Chains A and B, each alone.
Chain A
């Protein structure tokens, strides 16, 4: 679906992203992981077409990204950046409706209204529809912006090719809302959407990623399935911090625990962690 061929990016002579190639499949959730400054957001902006790589190219269905008509692209690819603030007073409904602008030529007002109501319902922001966006809390704003992006990709005509790029969509959300957004993303992937997102939370990545690209200082440290990349040694190298991995039979995904920033404790991990039962956890509390 999306192929990156030997793309690299630098700002005033400094390499932000070292030459890397990878492929992203349709219907998969690809997570970009890595410590701060690894180049995750830069990579996402290159994939979105906002930044041009120094060399190499991005192909979407074998067509170079820069050759696609921006207006057509906007009907099948949506991007959620970390920039939520809107300095002018718009109601939430108006913001979500902006997601439908690329479709104004094809779809009717009634269709658009139905789609934005549905997207707001899914992101649980319908009660704020008439409220001014800048009176909402950070988490509420993030969900309204997410609803806008969903509305941009909502299908009025039954086409299927959809690409969704998200930069830390859960950054200001509580646990419940993180799960709300990520399970929505999972269900979109099942519908055939191609999804690439930046996450900071390793456990969310473990829970939802089909594929992980692990970056560090611009280098692509690992590129593989969730199980392949989520290895203690790899992650510890990337984050320069010991990271424990626990498997529990009750969960289909690994549980990751960053060690305290205290080398002694990390080098002799407590065995109790590995069992992870409730009574043992209580022992840890003491």
Chain B
């Protein structure tokens, strides 16, 4: 076990290092010192480091928006994952469980196929389609998670077990429709569907980031305030209520805030699996489940790891890009299995 303040400091250092690395690595190499110099120069502080104007343009217009997008999406996915795992009282819960990803996929695939079949609906240029895709997928994600949430409510109570089952049902249904549409899609449509469903940070722009910030910032600020209630909730629903937690309100808040963050992340970057599952898991093995630390630490580590994964996705088959969802799955799965093997004993305790 690592002490809690040390872990926090370590994670912040990792976040800064990974961001500077991600900003520097690529077709045009910018050294970490140059990255710092360029950034400080923007703030009006001049360091005696030489760099070209090309580097400044690449950094400010291409790399930095991408790094920021990675930070927001990675942080948002990981903090939502940690909060939902607390709500389901199960470390294996994933934002996908409440239907967010399934709804987003279905609406994205539907839009891709409809737009390319009926191009009249698409005003000229690629940008409007891109924004349209963001908005539609966000709505799809929110709609399915709202439906799942609605199904699991009886007499004003949300039954967590029913929530899980309703989520599974919704995943199956949306998966079937997505499959059906994919089956009828042509080659070009298939390529964009695949690219989208495997995730990418490639579409980063300052405009997009400004639009994304509120959806990620609100959950990041509000979820940690629920930390103590989530801790008490881990003892059991009735037990939490005996400690004065308003269980009904807690469930609503966690689900709405997670949907906001995950829905918005999926809308801008496609489905990036495993971050919401693995990041909290790594932190749990390091410093336990106290949500007062776990939630914010998850956001920090999620942001760093997604940036590191993005470096790989950009460089492995450069100049082409590997979808980042593939990188997170290929790196995440062995790590996850290693963790499972290491703490099999603990996992057995779960069934009780």
Would A90 and B232 count as touching, CB distance under 8 A?
no
Q: Cβ of A120 < 8 Å from any Cβ of B?
A: no
Closest to A95 in B: B235
Closest to B89 in A: A87
Q: Cβ of B28 < 8 Å from any Cβ of A?
A: no
Would A134 and B349 count as touching, CB distance under 8 A?
yes
Q: Cβ of B239 < 8 Å from any Cβ of A?
A: yes
* Stretch binding the partner chain, chosen from B94-102, B117-125, B132-140, B282-290: B282-290
Closest to B85 in A: A88
How does the 8 Å CB contact mask read for B73-108 relative to A, with 1 for contact and 0 for none?
A: 000000000000110011100000000000000000
Would B350 and A87 count as touching, CB distance under 8 A?
yes
How does the 8 Å CB contact mask read for A119-130 relative to B, with 1 for contact and 0 for none?
A: 000000000001
Q: Cβ of A286 < 8 Å from any Cβ of B?
A: no
Q: Cβ of A56 < 8 Å from any Cβ of B?
A: no
Q: Count how many chain B residues have C-beta atoms less than 8 Å from C-beta atoms of the other chain.
A: 29
Q: Cβ of A79 < 8 Å from any Cβ of B?
A: yes
Q: Which positions 184-238 of chain B face chain A at CB distance < 8 Å? A: 228, 231-232, 234-236, 238
Q: Cβ of A37 < 8 Å from any Cβ of B?
A: no
- Inter-chain CA distance A98–B239, complex, in Å, is 11
Closest to B348 in A: A134
- With A83-B238, A94-B290, A134-B346 known as contacts, the answer to whether A74 contacts B244 (CB < 8 A) is yes
- Inter-chain CA distance A79–B237, complex, in Å, is 13
Q: Cβ of A102 < 8 Å from any Cβ of B?
A: yes
- Residue of B231, B345, B349, B350 near A90 (CB, 8 A) is B231
- Inter-chain CA distance A18–B37, complex, in Å, is 78
Q: Which positions 239-279 of chain B face chain A at CB distance < 8 Å? A: 239, 241-244, 246
- Residue of A48, A89, A102, A134 near B244 (CB, 8 A) is A102
Closest to A165 in B: B242
- Inter-chain CA distance A73–B243, complex, in Å, is 8
Q: Which positions 55-107 of chain A face chain B at CB distance < 8 Å? A: 70-75, 77-79, 81, 83, 85-91, 94-95, 98-99, 101-102, 104
Residues on A close to B: CB < 8 A? 45, 48, 50, 70-75, 77-79, 81, 83, 85-91, 94-95, 98-99, 101-102, 104, 130, 132, 134-135, 152
Q: List 28 A-B contacts (CB under 8 A).
A: A45-B238, A50-B238, A50-B242, A70-B244, A74-B242, A75-B244, A77-B242, A78-B242, A79-B239, A81-B238, A83-B236, A86-B235, A87-B89, A87-B349, A87-B350, A88-B234, A88-B284, A89-B285, A90-B288, A90-B289, A94-B290, A95-B235, A98-B228, A101-B228, A101-B231, A101-B244, A132-B288, A132-B346
